Chain A
């Protein structure tokens, strides 16, 4: 099945070694996200190789500016491994913008390093236009207020994307 079809059908996990979902009774599955016909999924990269052995702070300083929107998350946008990360990726699907995502579960040094780098203790973390904006709660509130649209538009024109 193609990536696009997986997104359309919202299949969270296809094969692999993902742990089973929570078995807590009465807990609903991920909240449905609005359809996003214009969103194009980022390439599924071998993210653990993205850093290529470079020192973490140096890599992070560069990576947060590598795309108008940068998302540090658990798992990938198509296969999120945490509800907060899934929410952040889902919100960003509403915007027609390039999102560079990094799976912190693939690189323990980045998982720790990004918390230092951003001075922020939790994952996910979102950068827009190279600027740290926060985690999933803040992203949702900025999405609802329209502020996120403004920031993304600015970041996109700044990068000529």
Chain B
């Protein structure tokens, strides 16, 4: 496992105590010498209960602030409560868009 993905897992683990976490490095989908810049993330945590999506994603961004300030460029994100995860039968579509080459600078 690569360095940033290890840190992402550990930071999210501490902040959100997820019961399920999927993290896929999608940096290869993007142009340029990108390394660990684009990730696809599914987080299932009780901490999201009662929060609207915008506040759930903010919790994730807050936990990853240091990464976002050091080259993490984009996250495709699904944030679910355990109940929602169960209702989705443990699987959610989370398709990242293709790169269009518009930005190299965060």
Contact = CB atoms under 8 A, between A and B. Distances in A.
Contact of A22 (B29, B53, B77): B29
B94 to A, nearest CB: 8
B54 interface: yes
Contact of A141 (B29, B53, B95, B98): B53
Interface residues of A, number: 37
B72 to A, nearest CB: 9
A81 interface: yes
B5 interface: no
A49 interface: no
Nearest to B55: A134
B86 interface: no
A64 interface: no
Q: Which 8 A-B pairs have the closest CB atoms?
A: A81-B102, A83-B97, A19-B101, A74-B102, A82-B102, A22-B99, A134-B54, A138-B53
Given A84-B76, A133-B54, A134-B54, 11 more contacts: A18-B102, A21-B99, A30-B100, A80-B100, A82-B103, A122-B61, A122-B68, A122-B73, A135-B57, A136-B97, A137-B57
Interface of A: 12, 18-24, 27-31, 74-75, 80-87, 105, 119-122, 132-138, 141-142
